Every structure is written in C-alpha cells, then in structure tokens.
Amino acid sequence: MQILAQAVTFYAAILSIPTWSLIAPILLFILNLIFVAMLCIDSYSLEPYFNQAAEEYFLKNTNDDVFMLWRNNNAIIVGKHQNTLAEINVNHVEHRGIKVVRRLTGGGAVFHDLGNINYTFIMGYGEEGAKVDFKKYNQPIIDVLSGLGVNAHFSGRNDILIGDQKFSGNAELIYHQKQRVLHHGTLLYASEIQDISDALNVNPLKFEGKSRKSVRSRVTNISSHLKEDITLEQFRQKVMNHITDTYPDATPYQLTAKDTAAIQKLADEKYSSWSWNYGHSPKYGLKKGVKTDGGHIEVHLNVHKGIITELDIFGDFFVNRDIDIVKQALVGVEHRKESVLAKLKEIKSSEYFNNISEEELVESFF
C-alpha cells in the first residue's frame, strides 16, 4: 500500500494539473479498497473498556484486515444478548472491583484476568450470505499449540479444547455494512481458575428471561499441558509470529494518537456506561429473597431495557404503613443498586417496613 501511495505521488508530480488534487484522494480510496493489508497489533492496554472499544473502532473505521493480541485486568465480558445480572456474582464483583463490559458479539459470559490472552481477527468476508465460521479463525491457535506438542481441537459450537477441557471460548459478529467479520477468543494460559468460578457464580440469583445464559465448562490452562516451561509473553510472541508467517501481507501496527483518542472516546461514551453494560440487557424477571431482622423479604420484579416495569414484595415482615406507595415509587427506576437505594432513601422505606433499613431492603433487588 505504501508503494502504491508513492506511485500516486509520482504521477501527481508529473501531471501537475489542477484537477489532480481532486483525483488523488479518490484514487487512493479505490486502491485502499483493493489492496488490503493485515495490521498486526500487539496491544498492551489492560483496560477492559478501552479494549472492547478498540475492536469496534477497527471493525467500523478501517478496510485493512486486523489481528490483535490483548489482555484485560480482572473483568467479566458478557455477550451482546445476555442479561448481565443473570451472569455475574454481584457481591463478588463489587467486592473485588471487577469491571463488567458488554461486547459486540453474542455467546456467553467470560472472565478475563492477566493470565488470559485474547486474540481478535477482523477480516473481510468478500461474499454475500456469509455465516459464522469459527474453525477458520481457531485453526491458527490449534497450529501454534501443535508446534508446542499440544494436541488441541475444535469442539461444539465455539470452543477449543485440550482433551475434554476448554481453554478457549470464541465469538463472532458478521458486520454486513462493510462485509467484515469480527472474531475473538480467549486463551487461558495461566488464569486463576477459581476466580473464573467465583466471578460467574450466580447461585444467589434466580432470573427468568429469554436471554442466553452461559454454559459453564470444565476449563484448563494451556501452560499446564506444555512440555517446556515458557512464559505468557513468550507464548504470546509465538502466536503473533505464526500470524505474521501465515499472512504475507501482515505488518506490525501501532495505534496512532488519532486511533487512541477515538477509541478512548468510544470507551468513555459507550463501553464504560451503565446503559450499555446493564441497561442493554433483554427483558427479564427476578425473584430474590433475603432474611433480615425484620423478617423475610422476597421481591419479584420485571425489567425492560434496564428499567423496573413491574414490582411486588412478599414476606413475613411487618409494616408501619401501606407499602404500595414504595412499590409504585420504584416502577420506572433503573435496575441499578445505586438508583434503587437512592429512591428507597428518598421515600424513607424504613418508615414503611418495620425494623428493615433501606440498605437491607435493597439487597432483595439484586
């Protein structure tokens, strides 16, 4: 592509006609569509909001193919069509300060830590009627592991396994507007397996809805199966080297200041927002019970687009005043702990429920 750009500049110097300033941008645009490189990005951002935004940015704002390696600090990444609260252990997430981010692709929720490497392909599919094709993008990973003496294989809908244990979950989005595919997957290399279980453990919650709930799988770390000890960074480099060897048009790429600013803007406005990460959840219902000094409370509620639409409260508690006023006040409130607690304090729910504080009552909503 650089050679072609130089050719355009050369002809511009020869022709030196007034109309060239109009022709050159059009010609460069056409050449950019025809001659596509693969940008290989070894990203060292550990920020979950930024990393999810980077995928959308390159999907929608470039014509070149992209391969990217990246990691996240502790985060839960939920599928686009999932009910976030049904996928996470809310108390554990809050206690550990784990960020929760919704991605563009479907599939189930995954936990990321620094022992996990993520890989992303963004490529044109070149024909109408393209369908999700996991094997195409999983094969390079299987090949890398084969070179290290590990027999990995594709399994089920979207997983890569060693034996019967999963180390890679994958998801895809077909972006028809630009005839491009975004494929990404996890590579558990040295992750804390217990943390995965704890973060995604939702036993205290009972949700009802049509959203896709994640299938829990037996998981393993790649490092546990290697014949030689290599660090995460060394394995990461082997993956990148394999891609650059496989694709002749592969070229290293570093984010420009323009790229970084645009990605950060998208991260701030979309991927760090409650409305995207929680409010975007499908319609769902929740039933939750808690025990307090004032008695047992059970809340039944329905939520649509992150907003409480229906609510009822049951239990063996005693009341000082008619609690219908409390229920009516909570309809229309965001199903978000901070929002519900603020409304309970505003109407002074503790004056309605005998010996039950606002802080105790709010626990029955999540």
pLDDT, one tens digit for every residue, the chain (366 residues): 544 455 545 555 555 555 556 665 565 555 555 557 899 999 999 999 999 999 999 999 999 999 999 999 999 999 888 888 888 988 899 999 999 999 999 888 999 999 999 999 999 986 655 677 888 899 999 999 999 999 999 988 789 999 999 999 999 988 988 989 999 999 999 999 888 888 886 544 445 666 666 655 689 999 999 999 999 999 999 999 999 999 999 999 999 999 999 999 999 999 999 999 998 888 888 888 899 988 889 899 999 989 999 999 988 888 888 899 999 999 999 999 999 999 999 999 999 998 899 999 999 998
Q: How much is the pLDDT for 75?
A: 97
What are the Cα distances from residue 342, in Å, to 130, 198, 358, 365?
A: 48, 28, 9, 13
Q: How much is the pLDDT for 216?
A: 57
Query: What pLDDT, in 10s, does the model give residues 280-295?
Result: 888 888 888 899 988 8
206-209, strands of its sheet edge to edge: 206-209, 284-292, 295-304, 307-315
Q: Give the position of tokens 């963004």.
A: 122
Q: How much is the pLDDT for 126?
A: 67
Nearest Cα residue to 122 out of 59, 48, 47, 213: 59
What are the Cα distances from residue 97, in Å, to 5, 93, 94, 250, 291?
A: 48, 6, 5, 38, 25
Which tokens hold the place of 55? 């995928």
Q: How much is the pLDDT for 320?
A: 83
Q: How much is the pLDDT for 206?
A: 45
Q: How much is the pLDDT for 115?
A: 97
Which tokens hold the place of 313? 């409260």
Q: Treating both helix axes as pointing N-terminal to C-terminal, what angle do 232-246 and 134-147 enclose, rounded to 10 degrees?
A: 120
Q: How much is the pLDDT for 245?
A: 96
Query: What pLDDT, in 10s, does the model give residues 348-359?
Result: 999 999 889 999
Q: How much is the pLDDT for 3?
A: 44
Which tokens hold the place of 322? 């008619």
